[in-house]
A = this chain, B = another copy of it.
Amino acid sequence: MAEALSLHSKQVLAANQKDIQKSTEKGSAFIDRLSLQQGRLQNCIEDMRAIASLPDPVGEVIEEKTYNELHFCKKRVPIGVLGVIYEARPNVTIDIATLAFKTGNSVILRGSSETLETNQAIVNAFQEALCDFPCAIQLITTPDRAAVTQLLKMDAYIDMIIPRGGYALHQFCKEHSTIPVITGGIGICHLFVEASAKFIPSVEVIVNAKTQRPSVCNALDTLLVEESIAKTFLPAAVKALQEKGVTFVLDEKAWNLLDTEREKNPNHFRKAQEADWKTEWLSLTLGIKIVESIEYAIQHIQKYSSKHSDGILSEDKKQIERFVSAIDTACLYINASTRFTDGGQFGFGAEVAISTQKLHARGPMGLKELTSYKWIVQGNYTVRGS
């Protein structure tokens, strides 16, 4: 499949260019997600080869025991048929088709109409490689949204629905699907700078989390700073972020503290409304709030986090422990950027989704997360006693 995609890369990139040209008015975050240009297709192909070389999880014995005069063997099996509904990110087509095929699953893909040219070129290449099994990877090409509603009701044929997109798509799937849905992908991500944190490295982590790729779900949305260090820490952090083009949404205390910075660039700052804390920015905007103590940071995160990626910057083991046990989030970071929430960065080769629900899988979903298991129970004509 990687070979076929490589052979057809010109066609795929040309198709992608067509899709991009049709969507120029949609803004840079949209185009960034849509684009396979500038080496991204090549990266995807390299990721595919990495996935191909990973051990096959199917057939793995997860657990084995003798109990009750029976031999129990819990064996990993494919899930079956996956339905994937996603927006304008053609790398999703590549990642998911590869992971699904590697794990013995069939996949029915439903990308957005804006990526139809790219997706068709990719799936054509894959189906060519699959020879006798082209139906293992299928693409729904009808732009009609009714096709999605119909797909979501086909529980007799499809075992799992993976929506990848915004809140509205996840909500739609949750409400209409009779098939189990993996929800996630919405990251309202927090970093809390605790009083003991090292200043300069903390600023680097924050800049990385916010600006390294602001259009994706694991980018930082809200920075919480402990009040006792805010006066020295915050101006330095804001300066570094401004150099990367970040603008700020501030709580009352941060607004007052940053008056010098505001005077210089008044249009880089505005006061936060309640709704801002519930916003996944997907852009170079950052919410900042000053909190009296770790307890208030925890309360804020418990209230507003989408349970995707949250972290603490601190040198104090006790405070770190307190934070880690109180915050129930898929990926919890200690002195690291939230940008690491990604299948590749977790060593999974790639990912089908980032789950923020608690069933089946949580966080990045790679190969194992695309499998189920069956129990094989061997006896010697064994019967159950009364």
Contact = CB atoms under 8 A, between A and B. Distances in A.
Interface of A: 65, 67-68, 70, 72, 77, 79-80, 155, 159-160, 174-175, 178, 180-182, 198, 201-202, 204-205, 208-209, 212, 313, 324, 328-337, 339-340, 345-347, 357-360, 362-363, 372-384, 386
Nearest to A179: B174
Given A333-B377, A345-B68, A384 B339 contact: yes
A373 B379 CA distance: 33
A379 B68 contact: no
Contacts of A208: 383-384
B382 A332 contact: no
A151 to B, nearest CB: 15
B159 A358 contact: yes
Nearest to A177: B174
Contacts of A209: 383
Contacts of A201: 380-381
A199 to B, nearest CB: 10
Given A332-B377, A340-B68, A382-B336, A362 B372 contact: yes
A330 B74 CA distance: 10
Given A332-B377, A374-B332, A381-B198, A386 B180 contact: no
A362 B373 contact: yes
A346 B67 CA distance: 7
